[in-house]
Amino acid sequence: MHDYSKHQSLPPRPNLRWRLIAACFGSLMGIPSTRYADVERVLRSNLDLRYVASVVALRALRKIGGLAARIGAVAPRLRRSTGNVDDGSVAAKQPIIELQLQRDEGEGLRIPEIWTSPARRPFPRHIFQTWKSKTHVPENYARWSESVKIRNANFEHFLWDDFDNRKFIADYYPWFLAIYDAYPREIYRADAVRYFFMYQFGGIYLDMDTECLEPLAPLFDSSADVWLGRMGNDADFPHSIPNAIMASRSFQEFWLLAMHFLVENATTTVESHTQALAGPETMTGSILLKKTYDTYVSG
């Protein structure tokens, strides 16, 4: 049993860098948003030539955005959930799931909350899980996955396999497909795709070694936008924020930063021939997620 009793809220980070990240990724993926005009307005207010160059780059991204898959209203109709007042307070929650963790994953999983925007989307009522094959799921994994469905009947449950995951990337994020296909093993792809799940659809992602003991919905009686795990008591431990359980509203900028690090890691490790040494935890897994979290909270 793991402790979910402490939660952490984070303020939004609406500075220039975050607006640029949102605008560039958003433009590339063809997301209509008023952010672009806002970012361009901010950039124009700076006389430094590098900002003028950024405006030009932003316009170029807009033009090629149509080449990427359009990812408009794809998610199912969602019900709005009620939440607590966003006052930065710490909320107490009861532990409601049990994670069947690997021996080296430690204990003490906690969920920090992240506030990323004042205008929040409704929390999506669906749960994503993934396994390499839908027809050959280990008995214990199948049993735990069934516990998720039984105790969350008001959530839509998706079990995707390797084929589904690749098709999702190819259809909605074709700019990432070359990196996705180039990963040396399937675990890298299984790690990476879940960040795209979270951004595109929102909802809850759970590893297959997760047994649900009670309904998950009470966890999300909050106005937070992103929920992450906290494992162990050492916040500096590189694996302390696992990607085994995550929850989010859709289209949160936090996941764009995770995508940025996926691309950065793939590029730098290929150039330095260290991809095999880096391993999935660094390239796509919990170390990358912690880096995303630490970078986000540091502004």
CATH number of the domain to which 218 belongs: 3.90.550.20
**pLDDT tens string 199-255:** 999 999 999 999 999 999 887 777 789 999 888 888 888 888 999 999 999 999 999
287 C-beta neighbours (distance < 10 Å), count: 22
> Could you tell me the pLDDT band of residue 119, with boundaries at 50, 70 and 90?
low
Q: Is the pLDDT of residue 77 over 60?
A: no
Q: Give this prediction's pTM.
A: 0.64
- Using an 8 Å Cβ cutoff, are 192 and 280 in contact? no
In a domain, 44, yes or no: no
Look at the alpha carbons of 17, 23, 24, 29 in this order and tell me if their dihedral is positive or negative. positive
In a domain, 53, yes or no: no
**pLDDT tens string 143-152:** 999 999 999 9
In a domain, 1, yes or no: no
100 C-beta neighbours (distance < 10 Å), count: 14
Total count of residues recorded for the chain: 299
Q: Is the pLDDT of residue 190 over 50?
A: yes
Q: Is the pLDDT of residue 85 over 60?
A: no
Q: Which domain holds residue 262?
A: 78-85+94-298
Per-chain mean pLDDT for the chain: 70
In a domain, 50, yes or no: no
Query: pLDDT value at position 191?
Result: 97
Q: How many domains does the chain have?
A: 1
In a domain, 7, yes or no: no
